[in-house]
Structure 1
Amino acid sequence: MADLGIVIPAAGQGKRMGAGYNKQFLRLWGQPILAHVVRLFQLSGYVSEIVIVGAENELTQIGEIVDQHGFDKVVSICAGGAQRQDSVRAGVLALSPAIQRVVVHDGARPLLTLEDFHRFLEEAEGFPAAIMGIQVKDTIKRFNDAGWVTDTLPRERLVAVQTPQIFERHKLEEAHFRAAAAGYYGTDDASLLEWMGCSVKVLEGSQENIKITTPGDLWLAERILALREEQGSQAEIKNFEPRISRLGC
């Protein structure tokens, strides 16, 4: 897992959030959403380099966040393209030649935990491409242009895809270059490798690893962080109790 690089596309404007500015700059527990995202990879011992891709007029603001929080693994803050796919391609090219494995993670997914990230990396070992996904709970139906249901998809074979997604660098670059040449745009990076004929492994994700898209998502993220803090405090109390008894208090 050495020589691992992270690409964080953070150029989306988040119109559904209705904030009037990039949702990655919204405050979550007093800090920008983007700071939560970058901090996770800053703390991971597996990560060598981080590249953040943003809108050209927001690069200075992203740089201020990086400097303020001391994220010294960030090797580049570069301008993105017209589509997310263009931004990821720019981010991959900004990584140093030493990076052989690339993780792409949304700039609006601040709740990924270090434990889940490291579990994902371990389970992804040996696969050229792997993604996080969670099994869908709802029944999914396909419909035609007239609005009539055409069929019901087997729920046990469906997943809602998340990031992080991890790839062998040469395969990810090839997929991006071939897609750009063909004018093909996928809904995520894994779909580009699928289009190219590469196999992609699905690994278990986390229900808490949500993407902040709407005000309701931000509210939910606050609640998840509050619950984590409460559980952490309870664990600290539990670990402290035996020490109290041993001290004879």
Structure 2
Amino acid sequence: MDYTVMMPAAGSGTRMGAGHNKLFLELNGKTILAHTLVVFQQDPWCTGIILAIKEDERAKIEMIIEQEQITKIRALPEGGSERQHSVKACLAAHQSGGIVLVHDAARPFIAKQVIHELATCALLHGAAVAGVKAKDTMKYVTDGIIEETADRERLWVIQTPQAFRYEILEEASLRAEKERFLGTDEAMLAEHAGYEVRIVESTYDNIKMTTPEDLAYGGYLLKKRLEETI
């Protein structure tokens, strides 16, 4: 099954404390962005990659693409100040419809099996997101006072990729723009537009490189995967 992956890559390193785009930070001598791109370059189901970028980072990103021999890049549109705007730019650059995945460029540890389950689920049902079951007890708190303990069995931590039939994500994006609705992820836009979104169980390794602690753990995951292949 074919899909195109869209990656908002116009963020910054605020929480990482990097002072620049965290995607340029390195894990074992290779940038986070490079590690993520290689995952999709090596997946035979992936027929195209669209990256929403900052214009002043274009040359550096093009250099990474060339160094890693990423041949599936279809477009490098300019991203926006919000994730939603960057995804909109990716949608506008994509002309062939089909199944589209939106993935955080800072999640280099997504498993191919999860990607394939998401693409299949989106084809059958229209929309699907990756997630893992909450491990910890969760509570609703107001003004520092616990009001209620949430039912952990119904709570999931949402990740990416998030997969859609192209027309569903496009409609959800257009509706959000028209209604000036700002969502935290693409699933929220689809929900807002009235679509049912399925969940596909992912792995706890599929972390987003957000803080220095994540970077340290990412180094451990890379070492672990290397040892498993030897």
Which band: TM-score by shorter chain?
Answer: over 0.9
Q: Which residue in the other structure is 1:32 paired with?
A: 31
Partner SS for 2:125: coil
CA RMSD of aligned residues (A): 1.3
Tell me how far apart the structure 2 counterparts of residues 17 and 102 of structure 1 sit (CA, whole Å): 28
Contact 1:132 1:205 in 2 (8 A): yes
Select which of 224, 227, 230 maps to 1:230: 227
The answer on 1:189 being equivalent to 2:189 is no
Select which of 138, 141, 152 maps to 2:139: 141
Identity of aligned residues (%): 40
Distance apart, 1:102 and its partner CA: 0.6
Distance apart, 1:220 and its partner CA: 0.3
Tell me how far apart the structure 2 counterparts of residues 40 and 69 of structure 1 sit (CA, whole Å): 11
Q: Deviations over 1:120-171 (max 9, x none)?
A: 3345440200001100011111122x22222111000000001011001111
Select which of 161, 164, 171 maps to 2:161: 164
Q: Deviations over 1:33-71 (max 9, x none)?
A: 101111111111111111011122112211111112121
Contact 2:99 2:119 in 1 (8 A): no
Residues 47-66 of structure 1 aligned to structure 2 (within 5 Å): 47-66=46-65
Distance apart, 1:29 and its partner CA: 1.3
Partner SS for 2:204: coil
Select which of 198, 221, 237 maps to 2:218: 221
Q: Which consecutive residues of structure 1, in runs of 5 or more, have no partner in the other structure?
A: 234-249
Partner SS for 2:10: coil
Query: In terms of Rg, which structure is larger?
Result: 1
Q: Which residue in the other structure is 2:13 paired with?
A: 14
Q: Which residue in the other structure is 1:78 paired with?
A: 77
Tell me how far apart the structure 2 counterparts of residues 203 and 113 of structure 1 sit (CA, whole Å): 12
The answer on 1:178 being equivalent to 2:175 is yes
Partner SS for 1:79: coil
Partner SS for 2:219: helix
Q: Which consecutive residues of structure 2, in runs of 5 or more, have no partner in the other structure?
A: none
Tell me how far apart the structure 1 counterparts of residues 38 and 228 of structure 2 sit (CA, whole Å): 21
Q: Which residue in the other structure is 1:236 paired with?
A: none
Give the ranges of 4+ consecutive aligned residues of structure 1 lying more than 2 Å apart after TM superposition: 113-125
What is the number of equivalent residue pairs in this alignment?
A: 230
| Pair 46,173 (structure 1): closer, same or farther in 2 beyond 3 Å | same
Q: Which residue in the other structure is 2:198 paired with?
A: 201
Tell me how far apart the structure 2 counterparts of residues 68 and 230 of structure 1 sit (CA, whole Å): 25
TM-score computed with the length of structure 2 as normaliser: 0.96
Contact 1:62 1:77 in 2 (8 A): no
The amino acid of 1:18's aligned partner reads G
